[in-house]
Amino acid sequence: MRIRLLSTVAAVVGLTLGAVAGAASAADPIKVGAIISATGPASFLGDPEKKVLELYADRVNQAGGVAGRPVQLTVYDDGGAADKAASFTKRLIESDKVDVIVGGTTTAATMAAVPLVERGEVPFISLAGAVVIVEPVKKWVFKTPHTDRMAAEKVMDDLKKRGLTKLALVSEDSGFGKSGREQTLAVAKERGIELVADETYGAKDTDVTAQLTKIRNNAAAQAVLVFGLGQGPAVVTKNYRQLGITLPLYQSHGVASKEYIRLAGGAAEGVRLPAAGLVVASQLADSDPQKKVVVEFTKVYEEAFSSEVSTFAGHAYDGLMIALDAVKRAGGTDKAKLRDAIEQTKGYVGTGGIVTMSAKDHMGLSLDAFHMVEVKQGDWALVK
């Protein structure tokens, strides 16, 4: 009699515990880790990225999470230092045990994290620009922003349209700048553009007049391309106007943010750069499939933060959404299945363009996802 009572009690307790445990695993959070350069020279890329990740993780949770599971976001600030990025990645993989990592604001931070995510077998969606991140393709590494090679190609196409063939290059010593320089050299050869100058500057330099003077005195130059990100290119732009150089000035998408225009001030007038549709959301044709997504994102961002949207915010949004969409398709957070699901993203309409990835293409954007824009009266204007 007592044994039967005991076993019944045990069974009831066991079932209850099982039910509770079951309920807990149904609400098992999706652990998303992020390493962002919210401070430091890349802060105008990293700060909007951090804000967007936090905002959208919140919104998704308020709408019930993904398949009933809440999103648990862990964000670390690497301050723009690649070694810190590496140690934070280690922490995310080993002690926070995240399911997926979205981040790596700068190319340097991303490349520092790559060997760790490959070894730890955690899917990683990078927010940085250089093409080396996805070429050669690494099993666990993906990215959302357009590559520096695409930026170079877009700029050279625009040069050809204007009948210019001799380009002077000013590149930053950062990972993105160095990679951009290599890509520009390679693409120039393919497209028949001649590089007549190849100057470099430091990401934290406060004065670039020495390098620009050399370009000004170079009679062959017909246009100048600056490859850098964050505040360095703003200094270059100011010095450019100070020296009175009137050649067309191009920038890379590393400055596709209103912060660049604010820092460079009037000097940015007339500068052209390739940017995602997001920055000219209202100027896109209504038939453009991106228009709805970018207009919506712009509205949400500007309401939440009272500041203008930037492509970097968009890249973070795309990264998070692609990751969560893949969780849905993979039916869970099994890392291998999640990785496969990310690789199978097809026709995803994001702020950067329409994303279709494959085993050979871990970025999924084509050249027409880029639009050439020009700075007119302190705002972006689509160049038709």
Partner 1 sequence: MFAELLQYMLSGLTIGAIYALAGLGFSIIYNASHVINFAQGEFIMIGGMASATLTASGVPLPLAILIGCGGAMLVGVAVAKFAVERARDASTVTLIIITIGASIFLRGLAELVWGKDFKRLDAFSGETPIQFLGASMQPQSLWVVGCAGVLIVAIGLFFNKTLTGKAMLATSHNRLAAQLVGIDVKRVVLASFALSAALGAVGGAVVAPITFSYTEMGIMLGLKGFTAAVLGGLGHGPGAVAGGLIVGVAEALGAGYISSAYKDAVAFVIILAVLLFMPNGLFGKRGAERV
The rounded distance, in Å, linking the Cα atoms of 363 and 141 is: 9
> Is the CB of 223 or the CB of 234 nearer to partner 1?
234
Interface mask toward partner 1 for 325-354; x: CB under 8 A: ------------------------------
Which tokens in the block code for residue 209?
A: 């007049």
> Is the CB of 43 or the CB of 110 nearer to partner 1?
43
Member of 62, 95, 206, 282 binding partner 1 (CB under 8 A) = 206
Member of 83, 207, 334, 379 binding partner 1 (CB under 8 A) = 207
> Is the CB of 115 or the CB of 266 nearer to partner 1?
266
**Least distance in angstroms from the C-beta of 360 to partner 1:** 35
The rounded distance, in Å, linking the Cα atoms of 197 and 173 is: 16
Restricting to residues 221-280, which ones interact with partner 1 according to CB under 8 A? 231, 234-235, 238, 241-244, 259, 262-263, 265-267
The rounded distance, in Å, linking the Cα atoms of 244 and 242 is: 5
> Is the CB of 184 or the CB of 257 nearer to partner 1?
257
Long-range contacts of the stretch 359-366 (C-beta < 8 A, 24+)? 359/137, 360/137, 361/134, 361/137, 362/134, 362/137, 362/138, 362/141, 362/142, 362/143, 363/134, 363/142, 363/143, 363/144, 363/146, 363/147, 365/146, 365/150
Q: Which stretch binds partner 1 (CB under 8 A): 110-118, 209-217, 339-347, 353-361?
A: 209-217
> Is the CB of 91 or the CB of 214 nearer to partner 1?
214
Q: Which stretch binds partner 1 (CB under 8 A): 36-44, 59-67, 127-135, 278-286?
A: 36-44
Restricting to residues 148-187, which ones interact with partner 1 according to CB under 8 A? 173
**Least distance in angstroms from the C-beta of 105 to partner 1:** 13
Tell me: does residue 43 bind partner 1 (CB under 8 A).
yes
Residues 6 or more apart from 285 whose CB is under 8 A from it?
291
State how beta strands 370-376 and 272-276 pair. Answer: antiparallel
Q: Which residue has the tokens 């896109």?
A: 284
Cα 32 to Cα 113, 272, 309, 352, 373: the distances in Å are 15, 36, 23, 21, 33
Member of 33, 35, 40, 375 binding partner 1 (CB under 8 A) = 40
Contact of 330 with 340, CB cutoff 8 Å: yes
User: In 18-36, which positions are buried (b, 16+ CB within 10 angstroms) versus exposed (e)?
Assistant: eeeeeeeeeeeebbbbbbb
> Is the CB of 43 or the CB of 290 nearer to partner 1?
43
Q: Which stretch binds partner 1 (CB under 8 A): 53-61, 206-214, 271-279, 337-345?
A: 206-214
> Is the CB of 235 or the CB of 256 nearer to partner 1?
235
Residues 6 or more apart from 97 whose CB is under 8 A from it?
31
Tell me: does residue 220 bind partner 1 (CB under 8 A).
no
Give how many residues touch partner 1 by CB under 8 A. Answer: 36
Tell me: does residue 49 bind partner 1 (CB under 8 A).
no
| φ/ψ of residue 36, rounded to 5 | -125, 145
Residues that bind partner 1 (CB under 8 A): 38-40, 43-44, 47, 173, 199-202, 204-211, 213-214, 217, 231, 234-235, 238, 241-244, 259, 262-263, 265-267
